[in-house]
A = this chain, B = another copy of it.
């Protein structure tokens, strides 16, 4: 943020999607995949998830240029059982893979009450809540798990094994937008470490280890050969391991520790896997479900929790829907430069 740019422009959402789509297509992404990825990225920016919004465009561009990810990949959807969809992303991004299997997945969960999409050979470079929110809008409960690039040590360990391995959950809420959350199962995201390093701030004690496996609160030491620790002590350490098992072993994807893009300078995305699990609460015989969730959230607010996951996101979104996505002239010029270098 500079004071030189006090009043950012407002860009209509569809214009931002169009601009991002053009950049991706110019970087070698197929039209169909670019539409999906541009919408996803613009959605993150729109909702204030800036670390997964425009901030990511240089990473998309450099990763595509490196040849590490295939922007034109056509996912292969396999009907693996009455409740089971497997999707080979064919070394493309995870969002087009999910989009390709979506209709079959929803058909299965409506039919059987539960369904899984197991995506492998995929690159996930965004937030997880945009994957789940649309299902929750259709009345479905969703869970998702994704693996990343090894940068998190196991409990008491010295060498990174896990990615920041996010997990996400979404549920319909009667009379409200869905409740959706999404967080790294490491103590913080890599982006937060980078921001602290740039700002010269120390991290909370025991956030990570240096290259020798010694605990440190120095973000630079974590970034230069060190690693993060899992969130939440031994409980979080179990959860980050579970995410690795569900998103990589179960899907048939690579483990975080197997990702090796050293032959592709500029590459930033993990080639691992993603698991999505959907439950249909109505099919399970419980018509009152979303009303019960609404009443629980009222109880939680009444007991003193002032902000629930997603509250800020929906507030920001409403503002953007009225006025457009805020974007600085500098950001806009940088995006334009990808089209007119």
Q: Which residues of A contact B (CB under 8 A)?
A: 78, 80-84, 86, 111-116, 118, 141, 153-161, 169, 171, 179, 181, 183, 185, 213, 231-239, 241-242, 244-246, 248-252, 255, 257, 277, 279-281, 283-286, 288-289, 292-293, 296, 299-300, 302-306, 308-309
Contacts and interface: CB of A to CB of B under 8 A. Distances in A.
Contact of A116 (B113, B185, B292, B309): B113
Contacts of A116: 113-114, 279, 284
Given A84-B283, A289-B249, A235 B232 contact: yes
B141 A305 contact: no
A252 B293 contact: no
16 contacts: A80-B283, A81-B113, A82-B82, A86-B285, A86-B286, A112-B112, A112-B114, A153-B303, A160-B303, A169-B242, A232-B232, A238-B309, A248-B292, A249-B286, A249-B293, A277-B277
Most interface-central of A157, A249, A250 (chain B CB within 10 A)? A249
Contacts of A236: 231-232, 235-236
Contact of A255 (B161, B181, B299): B299
* A interface, over-half SS: mixed
Given A82-B111, A118-B286, A157-B300, 4 more contacts: A83-B115, A86-B286, A249-B293, A250-B281
A284 B118 contact: yes
Contacts of A284: 80-81, 84, 86, 116, 118, 250
Contacts of A169: 238, 242
A157 B237 contact: no
A177 to B, nearest CB: 15
Contacts of A232: 231-233, 235-236
Given A112-B112, A118-B284, A245-B296, A303 B82 contact: no
Contacts of A86: 284-286
A110 to B, nearest CB: 9
A83 B82 contact: yes
A303 B241 contact: no
A305 B236 CA distance: 14
Given A245-B293, A288-B252, A305-B154, A112 B82 contact: yes
A237 B169 CA distance: 13
A2 to B, nearest CB: 30
